[in-house]
Amino acid sequence: MRLCIGRHDALVLVDIQNDFCPGGALPTQDGDAVVPVANALLACFIAQGALIVATRDWHPADHISFQQRGGPWPAHCVQGSVGAAFHPELQLPKEAFVVSKGMLADEEAYSGFQRTPLHLELQRNRIHRLFMAGLATEYCVRQTALDGLAFGYNVVVVEDGVRGVESQPGDGNRALQEVMEAGGILARAAEVCK
């Protein structure tokens, strides 16, 4: 497969935030391993003039997904907290388009498209294809990829650049299968950035 990155492509880095990394409130398995992969992708996508997008989970302190409100998750990614910050080693350029999601207290939002300007920004930039990496494979990466496909984008998930929560072992891989069944493709970072 030949993947030539250009200005109709976007790199979408999903939720590479402290709370989803080891030591955070809702860690993925080995989540900080995505950081060097994301940095390599950033370097090559920036060099090719692609759009850079970074989503972040950005919850109010009383978000419905939190256990204190009967939800499934410990409190995580509370707006302005250290846990909600991007991983300190992630080399996001200042031009990156940052998409905050999950900001309504009473609504769960795993997708970077849900109540955000992401689709509009991609359209404004004539983007046709999305390359995704980040956290967590079976929640926000999965839903952002499925929504991207539903909006008509080509979606490539960088499989070595994602990690899952893996509450049930295999959840991450099952989510990747689902994305492929919906029309997404998988690639390794080394194939994308040569």
Catalog residues that contact Zn ion under the rule CB under 5 A: 57
**Minimal distance in Å, beta carbon 57 to ligand VGL?**
4
What are 72's two structure tokens? 């499934």
Residue nearest Zn ion, Cβ-based: 57
| Residue 136 binds ligand VGL, judged by CB under 6 A | yes
Residue 163, strand partner residues? 135
The one catalytic residue in 101, 147, 171, 193 is 101
Pick out residues in 153-192 that bind ligand VGL (CB under 6 A): none
* Cβ neighbours for 123, distance < 8 A, ≥ 6 positions apart: none
Pick out residues in 1-30 that bind ligand VGL (CB under 6 A): 15, 20, 26
Closest by CA to 86, choosing from 134, 156, 151, is 134
The one catalytic residue in 77, 140, 147, 171 is 140
Residue ranges binding ligand VGL (CB under 6 A) = 15, 20, 26, 57, 65, 73, 110, 135-136, 139-140
